[in-house]
Structures are given as C-alpha cells and as structure tokens.
Structure 1
Amino acid sequence: MFRFEEPLYLYLLLLIPLLAGLHYATNYYRRKRLLRYGDIELLKGLMPDVSAARREVKTWLMLAALALLIFTLARPQFGTKMDTRKRQGIEAIIAMDISNSMMAEDVTPSRLEKSKMLVSNIVDKMTDDKIGLIVYAGEAYTQLPITSDYVSAKIFLETINPSMITTQGTDIKQAIDLAMKSFTSNQDVSKAIFVITDGEDNEGGAVEMAKAAAEKGIKVYVLGVGSPQGAPIPMPGSSQYITDNTGNVVVSKLNESMCREIAAAGQGAYIYVDNSSSAQEQLSGYVDKLAKKEMESAVYSEYDEQFQAVALLVLLVLVLDVLIVERKNPLFKNIKLFRKLSKEERHVTWDI
C-alpha cells in the first residue's frame, strides 16, 4: 500500500501552475519590450548565441525539481507488513428516502435537509464503526458502500438530492433488501439499518422485509420525518407547489402507523423527527445501546520510507539543469539537440 506520511505538503504542488504561468507572462512582456528595439530577425542576428529553447528546458527542469522536492517533503511510503487490528464498533446502513415528498417544509429547513443533519451528527460521533448510505424512492441505489471513511461519508451525504432518482414512490422494501446485502462483515458484530422516510406512497412488502432482516440479526430502525398534518411539496426551481391531475396542491403527510409497524417487525424502534432535538438524542441513544463487539480489520503496521529515491531524482534533475547552459556551446554547434525553429515559430517563441 502506498501513502504519504505528511500529505499536507502536497498542497504546495499548487505552486507549479502558478510559477509556470508567471514564467509565460514574463516571456510575453519580455517579447513586447524586445520589439521596441527593432525587427526580431535583425536582433537575432546580433545575438547568435541566444537559445530560447534551452531557457525553456531549464525552466521546466526547475519546476520538475520543485515538484519532486514537494513529494520528498510529503514522505512517500510503501506498506511492507500487514497485521490485523481488533476494534469495537457496529455496522450501520442509512437508507434515506429522497422522493419529492421529502422536500416538504413542515420540518425546518426541509424533511430531507433535517435528515441529512441527523446523519451527519451521528457520523461525527463514530470512531470504530462502519457506515453505508443508500438512497431510494421508487427504486433503491447504493450511494456509498459500507466504510469507516467518515470524511467520504459526509461528502456523499451532502450530495444527496431528489434528482438522483427519477422513479417516484417510496419503496422501503427494496431499500431494506439492498441494505441487507450491503453488509460486508461475516463477523459477529451488531448490524443495524436506519430507514429515514415520511412513509408516503409505500410500495408494500416493507414489513415482511424488516422481519426477514430481524431474523438475520439485523435491527431495523425507522425515522419518520414530517408531520401527520402534512405540508405541500415545493416544485424544484420555482415558488410553486406540486399539484395533482386536477390542479389541487398535493399535501404530503407522515404515515406514522406504517413507520411504527416496520420498526416493530425489524425489532428496532421508531423515532419521530420534528423541529426539536429529541430525535437526535433518541438516535444517538439507540446507536450507543447497540452492542459494541470486536471486529478485525487488516491494516499495514510497517512502512518503508521512499523519499530517498525521490531525492535522488531531484539531484539528477538539478545536475541536468546545471549542465544545460542558456547560450549555445560553440564546441557542440554542429550537434542539434534543440531543433531549429521555422521563421514563423521564431516570431512566436524567440526571446532574450
């Protein structure tokens, strides 16, 4: 496995394009000043030893040396020894409803945004746990395979929106089925599925699927987002609301009874999500109560430093830069290492 021990130094690579841009800007203004003195061909004849190509090569050699030096500072390493490390944690799959009804604003700022904040706060508290993300509406898709990379989990979480799935509906059955297949560990660790939904337009079969998950030792928790009174659904990109075929505004209502039924079948719990912080506290409590059993994961325990090889490349590039002089060497005037430019190219690239 390859890695950088000090990856923050890699941000210095941003200097390379900046310095390259500065180089070309300097050449541009140098050419403009040169044209004030007369014709390019006449000036070139007065300075036959000037080589624009050599200067260009030397510039890029210096930039290459700088890039390699930055890689050296970042300390490249190769893993040489694999060990197994025991850790305590759970495996959790978040199945998030992203149907259009989740854009209703009876929960601030919206049902979907409130759900994303809940999950984000849970991820912030995770240490040795694994988490995966599934999005669903009329169909279910894996947004993020189960992982312990919490940074990626939060990045993928922020990108979730209803436009990701065009098939409308709320197929909780398919979401639970996909979640059950997404667990990767065969070890005896606690596994849980957290279904986030407003429960509307359920396609059916969710209760039976939650029961099947419970029989495999996977608990199913349901977070019901919204209000029983309901709210209209904003139309994307406008201030209007979604209407039915008769022109009436569609009001989306939370189906609490269905949510409770699924949670009971999955031997989990139902959490009502409103504008208060109670849902966050309940969710954290249920996550903490899940048994924290030991899991084994393969990790590299020893790494060999590779900066010496990169440092040697830096030295070779610098030596090459020193050997190439900017002026033509009369001893090698008959050796054409740098091809002769055409008249048109000289007008564009020749400078002093």
Structure 2
Amino acid sequence: MFRFANPQYLWLLFALPLFAALFWAAMRLRRRRLARFGRPETLEELMPDVSNARVVLKFILFSVALALLILAAARPQLGSKLREEKAQGVEMMLAVDVSNSMLAEDFEPNRLERTKYAVNKLFDGLRQDRVGLVVFAGEPKVQLPITSDFRMAKAFARRIDPSLVSVQGTAIGKALEQALLAFSGDTEQTHSRVVILITDGENHNDDALAVAERAKQMGIRIYTIGIGTPEGAPIEIDGEFIKDETGNMVVSKLNEEMLARIAEITGGAYVRATKQSIGLDEIVESINAMEQTELSTLRFEEFNEQFQYLLAAALLLLLIEFLLLDRRNPLLAHLNIFRERS
C-alpha cells in the first residue's frame, strides 16, 4: 500500500510551471537587451565565456531538486504488511433517532445535536470494541456497518441528520430489527452484543416490544436512552413550528415507559438523558462488565518512509547546480561537455 503522509504539500508542485514561465520570460528579456548592442553572432564572439546552455541546465537541475524536495515533504510511505490484532471487546450498534421530533429544543441546541456530541465523545473513549450506526425515522438506514475504525465512526456520526432518512415518523421496532441484522458473525455464539437506542421514545409505527423479545432470544442486550423531557417542547424547522391538522402546535414529549420496558426485556438498562449527561458514560460502564469475546482486526502496519531517498537525490542535484558555473570553465574547456563552439 502506497500513500503520502502529508499530501497537502503536493499542491506546491503546481508552482513549478510558474517558475518555468518566469525563467523563460527572463531569458527572453535578456536576449532582447543583448540584441540592442549588436548581432547575437557578434556578441558570442565578444563574450566567449558566456554559456546559455549552462544557465538552462542549472535551472533544470534546480527545478527537479525542488520537485523532489516537495515530494519528500509529502512523505511517501509504503505499507509493508497486514497485521491481525486480537483483543477482548463487544460489538455495539447505536440506533439513533433522526426524526423531526429530535429537533425539539428542550436540550441545547436541540436533542439531535446533543446526541451527536455525546456519540462522538463515546467513540473517543472506545479502544477494543467494534461499533456500528443505524439512523432511523419512519424507516431505518445503516449509516455505518460494524467497524473498529473509530476515526471513520466519528466522521459518520458528525453527518447524522434528518435528511438521511426520507420517510418521517418514528419506527423504533424497525430500527431495532435493522440493528440486530447488522452484527457480524464473530459474536453470534457469545453474549457480547449490545444495541444502544437513543430516541425520545415517540413510537408511531410498529411493535418495538416484540423486537425486544427477539433480541432477548438472540442474547442481545438493548440499552435505551430517552432524550427529551416529559413536558416536551415544540419542533421548529426552518424557522417555523410544526402544527397538526387542527392548527395546534405539535409538542414532542419523552415516552419513558416503552423505553424502560425494552431495556427490561433484554436485560439492559434505561437511562434518561439530562442536560449535563446524555447517559452514554453510565451505559458504557455497564457494558464493560459484560462478557466479552475475542475480536480480530486486520491493520496495515509498519509504513516505511521513503522521503530520505528523494531528499538525498534533491541535495545531490542542488550540489551539482551549485558547482556548475554560469560561464565556461577554462580547465574543462577541452572536454566540451555542452558541444559549445570555441
């Protein structure tokens, strides 16, 4: 596997054509100025030590050396092999509600943004586990399959948005079904699989308790986090509050009873989010006490640095460019390296 560790420096290569254009313009201006004093053939006889070929060669050497230095700064690397890592951990699927009700502002700035912050913080603290992400509203969508790449997980978590799911509503049962299907086969025979459901609990579309019973039979625990307040809050989208068919303002309230029941069925736990803590820290503590299984991950390792070879070549070219004189060297004139007329 080949890569550049600092690819942003490669943009500097676009400066080389500019340098070439400036050099060509300078050489042309020099010829025009010399032409004022006489014919070029006559001037060559009057200035036998002047060598345009040497000037061009020095510029070429300098340009190539500069290009090599830029490539060296970008740090080309080669991955020498794959390494299999084994560690004890659990597989954790997060099911995050992205329905419009999650835009209610009883949490600052709203329920969904507060959830995204907590999920990113959770991924920062994980080390050995695998995580996946399902977003849902009226339909579920696997946003991130099970992975141990927490950097990628954080990138996907930052993109959580209601626009990811085209069908509005809150189908908690469908979301849990999708999460159950998303686990890998590595943990199928163990009890090291959990689902963390983050929602306001307003289920409109299906029987989530029946799915919880199925999760129990599969040995999967479901931890639920209720985000919102029992009093509820209106939902504002694009500066306007959502209203029902009768024109009354829709108020989204937390449904704790169903979330607590889902967790109880599967042997998990229910946590009500507060403005100080979503509740993920408490749940992770409980998960860490669970039975864990051996998880293996393939990783590239031992990226071999290649910049030193480019750097050595660049320094060599710069040394040659420095030693190469603009004018002909009398001591080497008999070699006539540049095929110049004497």
- What TM-score does the superposition give when structure 2 sets the normalisation length? 0.75
Aligned to 1:350: none
Pairs within 5 Å for 1:85-164: 85-164=85-164
Question: Which AA in structure 2 matches 1:110?
Answer: N
Report what 2:200 is aligned to: 198
Paired residues of 2:16 and 2:63 also in contact (CA < 8 A): no
Contact between 2:224 and 2:270, CA under 8 Å: does it hold in 1?
A: yes
**Count of aligned pairs between the two proteins:** 318
Contact persistence 2:64–2:314 (CA under 8 A): yes
Aligned counterparts, 1:272-311, within 5 A: 272-277=272-277, 279-299=279-299, 303=302, 305=304, 307=306
Which residue in 1 is equivalent to 2:80?
Answer: 79
Describe the SS at the equivalent of 1:101: helix
Rounded to whole Å, the distance in 2 between the matches of 1:87 and 1:141 is: 29
Deviations 1:53-77 (A, max 9, x none): 8788556523431244235xx4724
CA contact (8 A) 2:65 2:313 kept: no
Q: Which residue is equivalent to 2:73? A: 70
Point out the more displaced range, 91-100 or 54-63.
Answer: 54-63
CA change 1:118–1:32 in 2 (3 A) is same
Which residue of structure 2 lines up, in the alignment, with residue 343 of structure 1?
Answer: none
Q: Deviations over 1:246-289 (max 9, x none)?
A: 33221111122222232233332211113233734432332333
Structure 2: gaps (5+ residues): 45-50, 328-336
Q: Residue type of the partner of 2:163?
A: S
- Please say if 1:224 is aligned against 2:226: yes
Against the structure 1 CA distance between its residues 105 and 33, is the aligned structure 2 distance closer, same or farther, given a 3 Å change threshold? farther
Question: Following TM superposition, by how much is the alpha carbon of 1:95 offset from its aligned partner in structure 2, in angstroms?
Answer: 0.7
Which has the greater radius of gyration?
2
Deviations 1:107-139 (A, max 9, x none): 222111221222222222211111111111112
1:181-330 mapped onto 2 (5 Å cutoff): 181-187=181-187, 188=190, 190-236=192-238, 238=239, 240-277=240-277, 279-299=279-299, 303=302, 305=304, 307=306
Q: Distance in 2 between matches of 1:325 and 1:185?
A: 70
Any conservation in 1 of the 2:69–2:310 contact (CA below 8 Å)? no
Which residue is 1:349 aligned to? none
Q: Secondary structure of 2:68's partner?
A: helix
> What residue identity is the alignment partner of 1:24?
L
Q: Note if 1:331 corresponds to 2:336.
A: no
User: Residues 326, 136 of structure 1: CA spacing in aligned structure 2 closer, same or farther, 3 A cutoff?
Assistant: farther
- In 2: Cα distance, 1:115 partner to 1:306 partner: 40
Following superposition, the deviation at residue 102 of structure 1 comes to: 0.2
Q: Kindly indicate whether the alpha-carbon contact (under 8 Å) linking 2:171 and 2:206 is maintained by their aligned counterparts in 1.
A: yes
Q: Which stretch has the larger CA shift, 151-160 or 18-27?
A: 18-27
Identity, % of aligned pairs? Answer: 32
